[in-house]
Structure 1
């Protein structure tokens, strides 16, 4: 009887561990949808409007909780510009001195009326070279005859010059955007909301993955060079497979605590 009870308890514990593993992304950054961020950027009229959209609960593309207080973190946006190149950095404040970059949108002008962009997740939060770009589909007909003909469809790059926010950044007199918000100083009316399970979050963001694709190669090389010296990362966040180890975090009382999340190992998906 005791053996049966022990066996049952063991099975229950394994089931709970498996369920928890499925509810946690392999990399903590996957709680922020890079594809969803590009979808919002494409619709935004300005960088300020883009930051507002990122932090709107109804848009559902942010589920990050890097300081583990159970609530979604506020995303700030800062533009670093050199000539015709922009690096829009999306970041989270974890204290008044700690700041962690989440992703960077690199934008490069490639002609009088053409531009390209990619968004890349920060290496502390995402798998290496997690890069997303907008895509279009090119279809060509191959073969001859009724039985030999077939359509060949392949994704191609997108000219983002006509995106309103891109035109806004390249217009004469553009003032480089620096988010005025920081740790515990947020826009009036903004309130954090509770995080949801990863399975719920990734289901909400699934439609964005049909329009924006992950690619293995960085093409906005100049934008990355502009960004790299300005990268912000923190000792609070340490990359681990299936989770993040919290070295220290600030409590509401302002004290510092030491905490370590148990991490799971496994193959990349």
Structure 2
């Protein structure tokens, strides 16, 4: 074999190995759920940058931002996402809703926002369980360019909570806009039969092309196990919208995902959920546990800890085992001492004989 043929064969082998690795990584990162094609982190980033809810809706439906890649009705085009705002005092929700047909819509996610002080506000985005298999809760990380951790003399610091730092988002333009005195809640006027003139649907990207764009947003946001704004659930629950078509189309993959997640929670990994001293890591110790360098983990929240019934049962069972050990040890000691006395008596009787 000539040198040229050798290098040609080597290049072919390397290309084949690289393709196989890329396909393996793609299969690993994709859950097969509809939520793979909508970036919660990207949506929250667009909300951060938008001057108003109307501008936010326009950004969501722009192909340039690579946030929305959904095709829930399987018509070959991306779905239009409209934004519906609900408000009760200082708590607001922004529902991100996909137009599936002339008669059906499906909620994709909801942004929950609360003004907690004169110059303080907190925000989270929650992915709908019919789209993501479970409620995926995402919020900003405490990065300097994202957290706005100003001193108390200016806009107030981010507050510490058992789950980590609560990021103050008061200076986000859209947040300031929706808490202005003259603001009226935004309800998108667009429907399945009436779309804005600037909107032009595009064909969804394949997963191998889309997922690098999706995960580019992940390092700036983190998945957490708790909802910080309970009143927002009260506002949103009565108006949640689901599509029978979407639920039926994804029933198998969603149920399989939920079954897998249930098994993972019942048998948690010791290395992920417990430290070497037998105590809980991450949230139990007041800090977050996430992996920004691993986009899949940061995006799906694989490292977030959710105590399960099996966990509590294990701890109770462990306590009983320990008590049982002490009681058995005491009884064993007593029996040993009793046996010792009997043996001693036997030796004395032998000496007497």
Higher helix share: 2
Aligned residue among 166, 169, 172 for 1:160: 169
Measure, in 2, the Cα distance between the counterparts of 1:127 and 1:29. 8
Question: Which residue of structure 1 aligns with residue 241 of structure 2?
Answer: 232
Question: Which residue of structure 1 aligns with residue 31 of structure 2?
Answer: 25
Flag the structure with more relative contact order, 1 or 2, with Cα contacts below 8 A and sequence separation at least 6.
1
C-alpha change, 1:82 and 1:238, in structure 2 (3 Å) is same
Aligned residue among 173, 190, 200 for 2:199: 190
List 4+ stretches of structure 1 deviating above 3 A: 23-26, 261-269
Question: Which residue of structure 1 aligns with residue 91 of structure 2?
Answer: 85
Matched-pair contact (CA < 8 Å) for 2:133–2:254: no
- Larger gyration radius, structure 1 or structure 2: 2
Segments of 5+ residues of structure 2 without an aligned counterpart are 1-19, 145-162, 262-301, 303-353
C-alpha change, 1:42 and 1:234, in structure 2 (3 Å) is same
**Structure 1 residue 26: Cα displacement:** 3.2
Question: Which residue of structure 2 aligns with residue 4 of structure 1?
Answer: none
Alignment of 1:73-222 (within 5 A): 73-137=79-143, 156-222=165-231
TM-score (normalised: structure 1): 0.75
Matched-pair contact (CA < 8 Å) for 2:91–2:232: yes
Matched, 1:56 2:62: yes
- Secondary structure of the equivalent of 1:167? helix
Matched-pair contact (CA < 8 Å) for 1:25–1:31: no
Question: Which residue of structure 1 aligns with residue 232 of structure 2?
Answer: 223
- Secondary structure of the equivalent of 2:70? coil
Aligned residue among 74, 78, 84 for 1:72: 78
Matched-pair contact (CA < 8 Å) for 2:109–2:125: yes
Measure, in 1, the Cα distance between the counterparts of 2:250 and 2:215. 23
Higher strand share: 1
- Secondary structure of the equivalent of 1:237? helix
Q: Give me the CA root mean square deviation.
A: 2.5
C-alpha change, 1:165 and 1:263, in structure 2 (3 Å) is closer
**Structure 1 residue 265: Cα displacement:** 4.7
Segments of 5+ residues of structure 1 without an aligned counterpart are 1-14, 139-153, 246-260
TM-score (normalised: structure 2): 0.58
* Deviation string, structure 1 residues 134-178 (Cα, Å, up to 9, x no partner): 01159xxxxxxxxxxxxxxx9622101110000000001101100
Matched, 1:244 2:253: no
Q: Report the number of matched residues.
A: 219
* Deviation string, structure 1 residues 213-244 (Cα, Å, up to 9, x no partner): 111111121112111111011111117xxx72
Measure, in 2, the Cα distance between the counterparts of 1:129 and 1:218. 10
Measure, in 2, the Cα distance between the counterparts of 1:197 and 1:189. 24
Matched-pair contact (CA < 8 Å) for 1:45–1:168: yes
- Secondary structure of the equivalent of 1:238? helix
Matched-pair contact (CA < 8 Å) for 2:30–2:36: no
- Secondary structure of the equivalent of 1:36? helix
* Deviation string, structure 1 residues 27-60 (Cα, Å, up to 9, x no partner): 2122100000011010000000000000010000
C-alpha change, 1:100 and 1:263, in structure 2 (3 Å) is closer
Measure, in 1, the Cα distance between the counterparts of 2:182 and 2:71. 36
Measure, in 2, the Cα distance between the counterparts of 1:213 and 1:60. 19
* Deviation string, structure 1 residues 69-114 (Cα, Å, up to 9, x no partner): 1111000000011111101000012122211100000001111110
